[in-house]
Amino acid sequence: MEISDIYSKLETKLDRVSTDTRLLVTGDVFFALKGPHYNGNEFVAKALELGASFVICEDYESQDARVVSVDDSLITLQRLAQYHRSRMKAKIIAIAGSNGKTTTKELLLKVFETTYEVLATEGNLNNHIGVPLTLLKLKSKHDFLILEMGANHVGEIAFCVH
């Protein structure tokens, strides 16, 4: 399935995304991500039971129309965020560096929000998962996005920029 097809199916739901069934709220889109110590695909049934509007997962057989099976849930999350961003007009202020990212982000947010509609990274969701989650919250009303980007391996900032 093409990203644009997945996007059109999920578009009105993408501002409510969850990657953790313990935090899932009815109506969320659940992305079953894999990591070194977890496999979100093991929680697909739980996400559906909790009322996920859609579940993006790998290797899960289901006739449920809410289940969207993809080759890689993380790449799908990232591509959906990129596609969504391309449809928005907001200017992006990206903050990266070794120290002071969160403080700088919060200061800029306080200044910009007095005049503009602004979305900013919540907390320190600043990696290859957090950046796409923030991008999916972007709405047409936003003038600016203040995006904090951190890295824990070589190439992560370059990846997040794209």
Across 59-63, 86-90, 105-109, least confident range? 59-63
Beta bridge partners of 148: 95
Question: What is the third-level CATH fold of 3-82?
Answer: 3.40.1390
In DSSP notation, 12-70 reads GGTTSEES-TTT--TTPEEE--B-SS-BGGGGHHHHHHTT-SEEEESS-----TTEEE-
Q: What is the CA radius of gyration of the chain?
A: 16
Domain ranges for the chain: 3-82, 88-161
pLDDT in tens, 8-21: 999 888 889 999 99
pLDDT of 59: 85
pLDDT in tens, 89-143: 999 999 998 889 999 999 999 999 999 999 999 987 888 999 999 999 999 999 9
Work out the widest C-alpha separation in the chain, in whole angstroms: 49
pLDDT of 155: 52
Across 48-52, 85-89, 121-125, 155-159, least confident range? 155-159
Q: Which tokens sit at 80?
A: 């959906």
